[in-house]
Structure 1
Amino acid sequence: MYRILVVDDEPMIRRGLQKLIGEAHPAIVASDTADNGVEALEKIASCRPDLLFTDIKMPKMDGLELCREVSERYPDLPVVIISGYGDFEYARQCVAYGVKEYMLKPVTKTAVGRTVMKLIDGLETRRNAYIPLSATEEWLDRLQDAVWHLQTDGVDRVVEQMEAFCASAKIEPIRAEELMRELGNKLVDRLNAMDIYPFELPQGDEGSGSPFARLGESTRSMLEQLRAKRKGNLKEPVEEAKAYIELHLNRELSLEEVADRLGLNASYFSQLFKQMTKETFVQYRTKRRMERAKKLLSMPHHKITDVSAEVGYADHPHFTKTFKKVCGMTPSEYRESLGIRG
C-alpha cells in the first residue's frame, strides 16, 4: 500500500489533484497535502510518502527547491512536477534533480492515472527485489561468530558485503533500512539465546549514516560489551577456562566460579566446555589434577599426603580412590612403578 503527498499553494487545485490521485490506483491508501515546500519537507520527515506530486511556483519554498532538497535527503522518493509552466528550462532543472515525471496543468484523470500506475509499478519492482533467506542467515551466522570471537574486522567485512549485495540487487533504501533493523534484532536474539548475559541493541540516531553503517556500529558495540565482560581477554572462553583451572588445581574449583569469571551462564558454559573438549568440566578438572599429581609423585621429596593437598584433595582417601580410578593404580603403586620407595 502507498502514501501520496500533494504539494500546491492553490487549495482547489490541491484538493482536486489529491482526489484524482486517490482514484488512480487501488493500492493508494492515504494521501496528504502541503501548500509549500517547507511544509512538505516537514511532512516527509514525520511520515514519509511513497510518491510526491508538487507544483513549481509556490511561496516560501518553490517546487524546484523542494526537488533539490528531496534529491539530497530522500533520493529514492519518486517526484512528479505538475506546473502551468511549459518552459523547457524548468523541465531540464527537474531532470537534474531526479524528477520522474513532468505534467502540465490542467491535468486530466487519464494522465494522472497513467503516471501513478507507472510509478507504482516501478515501486513494486523495487520492493520485490529478492534477498535469499540463505544470504541473511549466512550474514547472521558470520556476525554472531565475529562478535563471539571479538573480531571487529570480521564485523566490518560482513557489513561491507551486505551493502555491496543490496546495491547490486538494487534494494531500495527503505527496504535496506528494514532489513538492517531486522538483522540487528535477530542478532541480539541469537546472542541472548546463548545465555551469555543480556545483550541490548544500542539505540542510536536513526537518521545518521547509512543503515549498514548503523548496523556495523551497533554490532561492534555489542562486541565491546562482550569484550568488557571477558575483562579484555581475547582468548577463546574454553582456553581461558583451562588456564584458570590450571592455576587453581590446588582447591575445589567449581564450574559456576569459572563461568562467572568468564561472564557466561553456567549451563551454557558447561555445554560449551563439553562441546569443545569432549569432556565434562569435572572430568577435565580431575584429569588435570591427576596429571599434576603424577608429576609431583615422581619427585621423591614430596609426601603422598602433601601431593593430595597440592591437587585440591583435603580428603586423602578420596584422592587415593580417584587416582586409582583414573590411573589404574594407587599413588603408592605409581611411585613404586617409578622405582621410588617410601
Structure 2
Amino acid sequence: MYRILIVDDEPMILKGLAVFLQQSGMDIASIRQAANGEEALAAIQEGLPDFVFTDIRMPVMDGLALCARIEEMNVPIQTVVISGYGDFTYAQTCISYGVKEYLLKPISKRDLQDTLRKLVQRAEAVKTASSYLSVAKADEWIQEMEQAVYYLNQERVGELLRIREQEMGSYQWPDTERTKMLVELHVLLEKKLKARDVNILLPPFKPEQGMLFSTVYRYFADGIRETLCFLQKRRKGKLRDPIEEVKKYIEQNLGSEISLEEAAELLGLHPNYFSVMFKQMTGETFVQYRTKRRMEHAKRMLGEERYRITDISYAVGYADHSNFTKTFKKYEGISPSEYRQKLGI
C-alpha cells in the first residue's frame, strides 16, 4: 500500500487531487495534505510518504525548494511536480532535483493514472531489486563476520563493519527499515556464533524508536567489537571464568549493595552483555542469585543464637530490617523469627 502527500496552497486543488487519487484504483494506505513546503517537510518527518505531488508556486516555501530538500534527504520518495506553468526552465530544474514526473494543470484523470502507473512500476522494481540484493549480501556478510569474530580477526571485523555501513547507507530506505534489518542481522549472527561456541554472546541489541541510523549502527558495531574483545581476553587466559569470579565477589561482599554494573565493571564487560551471559550460564538473573546467596547466609547465621536478627539483616546487606524480613519470608516461606523457632532457638 502506498502513502501519498499532496502539497498545494489552494484548498480546492488539494481536495480535487485527493478525490482523483482515491478514484484511481491504486492500493493507497493514506493521503495527507500540506499547504506549503514547510508543512510538507514536517509531514515527511512524521511519516515517510512514497509519493509527493507538489505545486511550484506556494508561500513560505515553494515547490522547487521542497524538491531540493527532499533530494538532500536521500530518502525513497518519488516526487511529482504539478504546475500551471509550462516553462521549460522549471522542468529542467525539477529534473536536477530528482523529480520523477512533471504534470501541467488542469490535470486529467487519465494523465494522473498514467503517472501513478509509472510511479508504482518504478517503486516495485526498486523494492524487488533492493530486497534481493540486501538479502544476498546480508547472508554473505554474516558468514564472513562469524568467521572473523570466531578467529579473532580484528582487522577483518572492522573492514566488514565499514562495508556493511556503506552498503546499508546506500539503500533508498527509511531509517526504520534499515534498523529492522540490523536487528535481523544481530539475531542471525548470534545464532551463527553460538553454533560455534554456546558461550559466545552478543550484547543485547534493542534500538529505541526514532534513533538515527548512524546511531543505531554504532550501537550494533560496538556490540560486535565487545564480543571480539571478550573472546580475546578469554582465550589468552587474561579472563578467568567470569561467572565464578562474580560469585566469589558476591560471597565476599554480601553485606554491601553490589550492583550489576559494579560486577560487570569488575570483569571489564558491558552491563547488558554481562547480564545476558550471567542468566544464560546460571539460569538466574544477577539480582536473583545475589538475593539467594544473602538468604542462605542469613539462614546460617539464624542457626547461631549469638546473632540478633537485626545484626543478621545488616550482615547480609539490608539496612532496612522490615525489607529483610519481607525478602526472607518470600524466599523461605516464613519470617526470620519463625525460622529460628523451628530450629528451637
TM-score, L = length of structure 2: 0.60
Residues 126 and 48 from structure 1, CA distance in 2 versus in 1: closer, same or farther, beyond 3 angstroms? same
Aligned to 1:201: 205
Number of aligned residues:
250
For residues 82-93 of structure 1, the aligned pairs below 5 Å read 82-93=82-93
The corresponding residue for 1:240 is 237
Q: CA deviation at 1:89?
A: 1.5
Displacement after TM superposition at 1:137 (Å): 3.0
CA deviation map 1:60-79 (0-9, x unaligned): 11101101111101343110
Q: Which residue is equivalent to 1:143?
A: 145
Q: How does 1:20-169 map to 2 (within 5 A)?
A: 20-129=20-129, 130-131=132-133, 133=135, 135-148=137-150, 151-162=153-164
2:232 corresponds to which letter in structure 1? L
Q: Which runs of 5+ in 2 are unaligned?
A: 248-266, 283-345
**CA distance in 2 between partners of 1:93 and 1:202 (Å):** 42
TM-score, scaled relative to structure 1: 0.60
Q: Which amino acid aligns with 1:71?
A: E
- Give 1:189 shift: 6.5
Which of 178, 182, 185 is the aligned partner of 1:183? Answer: 185
Give ranges in structure 1 of 5+ residues lacking alignment: 245-253, 270-342
Match of 2:4 in 1: 4
Match of 2:220 in 1: 219
Closer/same/farther in 2, CA of residues 50 and 215 from structure 1, 3 Å limit: same
Cα distance in 2 for partners of 1:215, 1:145 equals 23
SS in structure 2 opposite 1:31?
strand
Q: CA deviation at 1:146?
A: 4.0
Aligned equivalents of 1:98, 1:265: Cα separation in 2? 52
Residue in 1 that maps onto 2:299: none
* Contact 1:184/1:215 (<8 A) preserved: no
Instruction: Assess if the C-alpha contact under 8 Å between 1:56 and 1:63 holds in 2.
Output: yes
Secondary structure at the counterpart of residue 58 of structure 1 = coil
Partners of 1:255 and 1:75 in 2: CA distance = 45
Check the 8 A contact 1:6/1:14 in 2, yes or no.
Answer: yes
255 and 31 in structure 1: CA distance in 2 versus 1, 3 angstrom threshold: closer
Residue 157 (structure 1) shift: 2.3
Change (3 A) 1:152 1:215: farther
Amino acid in the other structure paired with 2:205: L
Greater mean deviation of Cα atoms: 67-76 or 182-191: 182-191
Q: Is the 8 A contact 2:190 2:201 kept in 1?
A: no
Q: CA deviation at 1:268?
A: 7.1
Q: 1:207 to 1:258 in 2, by over 3 A?
A: closer
Q: Secondary structure at the match of 1:6?
A: strand
Q: 1:150 to 1:93 in 2, by over 3 A?
A: same
State the 1:18 CA deviation: 1.3
C-alpha distance in structure 2 between counterparts of 1:205 and 1:172, whole Å:
19
Secondary structure of 2:133's match?
coil
1:214-256 deviation line (CA, Å, top 9, x unaligned): 565233311354367x4xx835x34528x96xxxxxxxxx996
Per-residue deviation, residues 166-204 of structure 1 (Å, max 9, x unmatched): 79xx85334655433432354466668945567222647
| Amino acid corresponding to residue 237 of structure 2 in structure 1 | E
Q: Do the aligned partners of 1:52 and 1:77 also contact (CA within 8 Å) in 2?
A: yes
Counterpart Cα distance in 1 of 2:28 and 2:135: 29
Q: Is the 8 A contact 2:75 2:172 kept in 1?
A: no
Deviation, structure 1 residue 141: 3.4
Name the Cα RMSD after superposition: 3.8
Name 2:308's counterpart in structure 1.
none
Equivalent pair of 1:156/1:216 in contact (CA under 8 Å):
no
- Asked if structure 2 preserves the Cα contact closer than 8 Å seen for 1:53 and 1:79, the reply is yes
Distance in 2 (alpha carbons) for counterparts of 1:41 and 1:176: 21
Superposed CA deviations along residues 260-299 of structure 1, whole A, max 9, x for unmatched, are 8797669879xxxxxxxxxxxxxxxxxxxxxxxxxxxxxx
Aligned partner letter, 1:52: V
